[in-house]
Amino acid sequence: MTLTSPHLGTSSTWTDARLLHALEEVVEQELNRHLKVAKDWMPHEYVPWSDGRNFPGIFEDGEAWGKEQSKVTEIGRIALVVNLLTEDNLPSYHHEIASLFGRDGAWGTWVHRWTAEEGRHGIVMRDYLLASRAVDPDKLEAFRMSHMSEGFESDNRHSMLHSVAYVAFQELATRISHRNTGHQSGDPVCDRMLARIATDENLHMVFYRNLLKAAFELAPDLTMQAVRDVVVDFRMPGHGIPGFERAAAQMAIGEVYNMRIHHDDVLQPVLRFLKVMEIDGLGPDGLKAQEELGLYMGGLDAEASKFDERLAARKARMAARKG
């Protein structure tokens, strides 16, 4: 499966600049495919504006926020805040990918299109949360200021291949997190909104996944190492959110996102599509990375099974108390 370019050299001589140039045609093809299947949508059409009313401030009739004012469940509220704050750091994400991929040609067109589409997600989520009074608006703004003031630096900014590999998994992880948040929210309006966002995230995943497939054909050893590194060290871009660890634990218990979901619904689908464990013709470094990836996935599956058992036991205890 090792393919080399007659004018760009063997896989051992690939640099980020050479890979960016070699993948430009694939980016253009994927961009054109994306634009054909992506559907524009209006964020304001997904917001229950009639539920909205004034908050305290310049309005004399402002009503203070209270949990009882919203249909959203507690786990839904926690996940919505994490998901929105993650979307809020879009300026930093744009800077990261624009610096890596460039602003010219097909790469640049994709960077700007992706940014524009992602911008809708933050708009509609914040409008929904405020109109439906799903969260404390003062705390939400305080969290936003704190999170965005810290900025964002990708763990994979040192390498274009690592960055492509990361977003192939991260976009799917985001899709799954949004979709499960909708299911757990307790509000059909919220569920429909997040389903719309998840559709975008899935298309973004397909773009990067197909790009990663092309990278495997060009530089299989380097791409295998990048995938290994990204999978083993994966963490969501919202990890810098205030209180993220506690929120992530609650989301795991609430079955919005946990180890089992990460293994079964995020890592495995992408790895299976790419047939990563079936790629042959690898050199020593690629083979080592492939073996280590397989071992890690086996270990993660075992850890996920332990988590499943603990979660089932917890549910049983809670059911017993209610009974």
Q: Which residues are annotated as a binding site for Fe cation?
A: 87, 118, 121, 171, 201, 204
Q: Which residues are annotated as a binding site?
A: 87, 118, 121, 171, 201, 204
- Which contacts (CB < 8 Å, 24+ apart) does range 76-79 have? 76/134, 76/181, 76/184, 76/185, 76/186, 76/187, 76/190, 77/134, 77/135, 78/247, 78/250, 78/251, 78/254, 79/177, 79/180, 79/181, 79/184, 79/185, 79/247, 79/251, 79/254, 79/256, 79/257
**Which residues are bridge partners to 5 per DSSP?**
9
What 3-state class would DSSP assign to 5?
strand
CA dihedral over 175, 158, 217, 234, signed as positive or negative:
negative
Tokens of 62: 């402002």
What 3-state class would DSSP assign to 228?
helix
What 3-state class would DSSP assign to 124?
helix
Count Cβ atoms within 10 A of the Cβ of residue 6 and give its class: 0-12 exposed, 13-18 middle, 19 or more buried: exposed
> Phi-psi region for residue 154, left (φ > 0), alpha (ψ -120 to 50) or beta?
beta
The C-alpha atoms of residue 70 and residue 92 are separated, in whole angstroms, by 31
CA dihedral over 268, 270, 273, 277, signed as positive or negative:
negative
Of the candidates 5, 44, 251, 20, the one whose C-alpha atom is nearest the C-alpha of residue 127 is: 44
